[in-house]
Structure 1
Amino acid sequence: MTLPRQRGLTEQTADAAIDTACRMLRLRLRLRLRLRLRLPSIRNEFADIADRAVKDQMTYRGFLAELLMAECDDRARRRSERRIKAAGFPREKSLRTFDFGANPNLDPATIHTLASCEWIKKGQPLCLIGDSGTGKSHMLIALGAEAVMKGYRVRYTLATKLVNELVEAADEKQLNKTIARYGRVDLLCIDELGYMELDRHGAELLFQVLTEREEKNSVAIASNESFGGWTKTFTDPRLCAAIVDRLTFNGTITETGTDSYRLSSTRARAEQPAKAG
């Protein structure tokens, strides 16, 4: 949470800001045996804020509010950075950098509604279905990043990597612990589901993760196969049907289409020099 910043705070606004900042900076004494109060932003920015307070003729309340808000803002930024790192995104993607004009199958209004993260709050699933190059992974990572910025715990993984981790955990008798770890995050993003066939054991382990999260925490997947083609990945028809049910019940299904916007963009760039000549 970032506190609102403005110059010339009224005494009442300053009091409210100070109260909010102090609540945000309050240490959780019940969880800590040693009390250590670190305020790096106050330490680093104190002089600049003090000089600005003199220049702007701030009241004592206004100066204190500015000082505490600087610490809160910096803590919020560092917390987001830690969550982004913990999410394990393979690259940086955002909704801002996605070219909706190149893929008319994706409705900007729908995507920005998803970016509000209400579906995560409700523990609902999201399925992004479409061919390679249509923006599935971009959307998956970008929506995951939006969730991180709103304070949700997110984890990104490839489907095959997740299954391999579960198989290794089962061999090492750590399966319950691993499933519980994946069950705790608010949003689990599974990319490239449907690219490779999974044996029955691997599919069953993946099903356990989905069952652990069902109607509690959200799962978002990206797949290049329509649900009818998932029998290539999950060869047991009953298990396949159960997995589809877990990933679609009360969820959102967004089809990204069949035309690669990456290929279209490459062709457009290649044609530009030819037209210029």
Structure 2
Amino acid sequence: MITAKQQAETDQAIMEACKKLFFTTAIPEMCKTEGTPKQIEYLKDALLRELARREENKKARLIKRAHFPVYKAFDGYSYKQVQLPPALTKEELENVSFINQKQNLVLYGPVGVGKTHMAIAAGIKACMLGYKTRFYTVTELVLKLAEARKNGTLERLRNDLNNQDLLILDEWGYVPVDRDGSELLFQVISDSYESKSMILTTNLEFSKWGSIFTDEQMAAAMIDRLVHHGHLILFSGKSYRMEHALMRQTAP
């Protein structure tokens, strides 16, 4: 026998599911007047399954659109070589709570110590929570921006970038960028300032950004916008890839 409380909870679940699925609000009323308890329970389960299916499809679409080069997660991630700032806990990082606050992360350290892994894992988690995310290497983004400007579609690309909740820029400063590319990147940084979160991975200390981006003032302006609402995460140690490279393995 279904209690009045259980019936009320079922009716509420059906009402909320119909709203989320954009179904007519007449359905819950029809259930009350025409449905048997078994029919109503079945309808509730069917609506909840459809909601779950759509939610999983949404997560898959967000991950696909982010264009991650590989799939990475925080499961088993080692923080042995990572120094988090006092204002950012491991839980806040892995739950990507910094996105709600439109804060940035700068992951700084040598090559092969897990910066890109962390950035992708945070991006995957963001997608799982429904945040719109994009992943680029800096070289890839500069080329894409330059091509868009040449084709007259730069404004469309900038609007697409502005529509994201999280923008991940990998390998920041690994390759020198000419003045035009620096100006385009600066536009992206300026557009993102206080409107979304960014994650940058870099092996280049701030004092050397001017030599990579051809203009000391522009580099200083980029740094200013990134660190104002940002956290610096420090990485150290030897390259994981080099430590586990096949070339380093000797025959028994």
Measured against the shorter chain, the TM-score band is: 0.7 to 0.9
Which amino acid letter does the alignment assign opposite residue 19 of structure 2? R
Secondary structure of 1:70's aligned partner = helix
Residue number in structure 2 paired with 1:153 = 132
Structure 1 gaps of 5+ residues are 1-8, 29-57
| Counterpart check, 1:25 vs 2:25 | no
Q: 1:254 aligns with which of 203, 221, 233?
A: 233
| Residues paired across the two proteins, number | 233
Residue number in structure 2 paired with 1:189 = 168
Which amino acid letter does the alignment assign opposite residue 169 of structure 1? A
Q: 2:187 aligns with which of 208, 212, 215?
A: 208
Q: 2:71 aligns with which of 92, 97, 120?
A: 92
> Conserved in 1, the CA contact under 8 Å of 2:133 and 2:164?
yes
Secondary structure of 2:75's aligned partner = helix
Matches of 1:131 and 1:181 in 2, distance apart? 31
Residue number in structure 2 paired with 1:118 = 97
Which amino acid letter does the alignment assign opposite residue 10 of structure 1? Q
Which amino acid letter does the alignment assign opposite residue 216 of structure 1? S
Matches of 2:170 and 2:116 in 1, distance apart? 7
Matches of 1:20 and 1:160 in 2, distance apart? 46
Root mean square deviation of aligned Cα: 2.5
- The range that moved more, 191-200 or 245-254, is 245-254
Structure with bigger helix share is 1
Which amino acid letter does the alignment assign opposite residue 12 of structure 1? A
Q: 1:239 aligns with which of 218, 221, 241?
A: 218
Which whole-Å deviations, capped at 9, do the CAs of 1:231-271 have from their partners, x for residues lacking one?
2321211111011112111111111224223444559x959
Matches of 1:130 and 1:85 in 2, distance apart? 28
How far residue 161 of structure 1 moved from its aligned partner, in angstroms, is 0.8
Matches of 1:258 and 1:166 in 2, distance apart? 34
Over 3 Å counting, the alpha-carbon distance change for 1:96 and 1:256 in structure 2 is same
> Conserved in 2, the CA contact under 8 Å of 1:189 and 1:219?
yes
> Conserved in 1, the CA contact under 8 Å of 2:92 and 2:98?
no
Which whole-Å deviations, capped at 9, do the CAs of 1:132-179 have from their partners, x for residues lacking one?
111010011100011111111000011011011111122222222221
Structure 2 gaps of 5+ residues are 25-36
Over 3 Å counting, the alpha-carbon distance change for 1:179 and 1:27 in structure 2 is farther
Matches of 1:241 and 1:203 in 2, distance apart? 12
Identity of matched residues, %: 34
Matches within 5 A, 1:1-277: 10-26=6-22, 59-101=38-80, 103=81, 105=83, 110-265=89-244
> Conserved in 2, the CA contact under 8 Å of 1:115 and 1:147?
no
